[in-house]
Amino acid sequence: MSMPSSPHTSAEPRRGKPWWLIPAGLVVALVFLALGVWLGWALLAHKLDGLEGRASLIDEARTREEIALQKKANEALEQRIAEAKKILEGNVCTADNPFGSLPAPPESTAPPAEAVPTPEGGRAFEGNLLDLVDGAVVLVLAPNQEGVSTGSGFFVGPGLVVTNAHVVAGAEKVFVTSKPLGGARPATLLASTNATDPGQVDFALLKVDGAPATIQPLSVTTTVAKLDHVVAAGFPGIVMEDDAAFRRLMEQGDVSAVPEMAVTSGEVSVMQDLASGVPVVVHTAGISPGNSGGPLVDRCGRVVGVNTFLKVEASQAVRVNYALASAKLIAFLKSQNAGFTELSGRCVPANPPADAPAGAAAPVPAPAPAPAVGGGQGAAGGGAPAAPAK
């Protein structure tokens, strides 16, 4: 008789699950995960490399462009600084470096042969405007510790010469020369303003002993308007460097050598008051270092201003010429009791009469003169010389 089988027993052995499937699955999963990470990283790195390359190209081009622009800006700034230094040094020349680096002024042209008025109490001037300024304008030489500064000046009375204070500032001695003087002569500094910077009242008064009585001083007027024809006269260094007489004077000390005065003509652009309150005449008659202290005259030979400084805009090749207005010069001369002639009225230059020989200039009556200024120390040359401005 057979016995029933127990539920916990079997006639055949029980088969188990494959144990290796789990580790194998894990290995495969890890392989695919690693492969996915590697592919993702490779794609990301490739994309970043492309972006980085493009960014590098953009940065390099922009950097090169900025460097080029900055280089041009630096060159323009250096040029402007050099020109500004030259102007601020006093618009004068020195023996060590007598000629400035500013652009050359326009070619000098002689004014037409026009008659000039006769100042009240003065002799009739026989000649034309060029003869008048050529006789009255002088080259000013001011030796100092740095060399010899040069500028221009002009006679306003017997033996009295006006120039800029910055031309003679710090000078140990002062000399003037011109054709009528026959060579270099010593001059005494009678008075000088304290201000010598551009845009300030900048005048000096010199006394030349033994100046020939034949020299016709220039008269002064405050009558000037826009578009009036004007002439700048003086001894600009950029022109003087090619003058053989100037070279003999400066290099060989030949005091008998007299360089040729240079003139340029132009028009009055505007009269204006600077920020300092000083009135100036802005004009187109070319000036450059060495013209400082020289006169700006109208076609009647009357001084309407004293050429003192200029401005240069290098980036646009623009230069502006400034003359201190004669109103300040008149006030300065009156404060020194210096003898000079002031004229009023519009300038009406005369042309030679129809029956006059070619080139002859007929004198014309003077405009109505203002009250004459008395003599005193300036006219007589008496009193102690004033100390030069520092």
* Chain centre distance of CA 15: 111
pLDDT the model gives residue 336: 95
Confidence of residue 318 (pLDDT cuts 50, 70, 90): confident
In tens, the pLDDT along 72-94 reads 666 765 665 565 555 444 433 33
**Per-domain residue ranges of the chain:** 89-353+361-380
Position 119 scores a pLDDT of 44
Please enumerate in sequence order all residues whose Cβ is within 8 A of that of 323, keeping only pairs 6 or more positions apart, or say none. 232, 280, 281, 283, 296, 304, 305, 306, 307, 308
Most confident by average pLDDT, 77-86, 113-122, 293-302: 293-302
pLDDT in tens, 228-282: 999 999 999 999 999 999 999 998 889 999 999 999 999 999 999 999 999 999 9
Residue 33 has pLDDT above 90, yes or no: no
171, with CB counted inside 10 A (0-12, 13-18, 19+), is: buried
DSSP assignment of 129-166 equals HHHHHHHHEEEEEEEETTEEEEEEEEEEETTEEEE-HH
Lowest mean pLDDT among 62-66, 88-92, 287-291: 88-92
Position 147 scores a pLDDT of 87
Average pLDDT, integer, range 106-121 = 42
The 3-state secondary structure of 70-139 reads HHHHHHHHHHHHHHHHHHHCCCCECCCCCCCCCCCCCCCCCCCCCECECCCCCCCCCCCHHHHHHHHEEE
According to the model, what pLDDT value does residue 125 have? 53
Convert the pLDDT of each residue in 176-209 to its tens digit.
999 999 999 999 999 999 877 888 999 999 999 9
Tell me which range, 225-239, 336-350, 375-389, is most confidently predicted by mean pLDDT: 225-239
- Choice among 40-44, 328-332, 379-383 with the minimum mean pLDDT: 379-383
pLDDT, the chain, mean: 75
Instruction: Name the band, by pLDDT with cuts 50, 70 and 90, for residue 373.
Output: very low
Q: Are 308 and 91 in contact (CB under 8 A)?
A: yes
CATH class, domain 89-353+361-380, is: mainly beta
Which pLDDT score, from 0 to 100, does residue 30 have?
73
**Exposure string for 257-270, b = 16+ CB within 10 A, e = fewer:** bbbebbbbbbebee
pLDDT at 41: 66
- The predicted structure's pLDDT at residue 330: 97
pTM exceeds 0.75 for this model? no
Q: Given a cut of 60, is residue 388 above it in pLDDT?
A: no
Better-scored residue on pLDDT, 91 or 67: 67
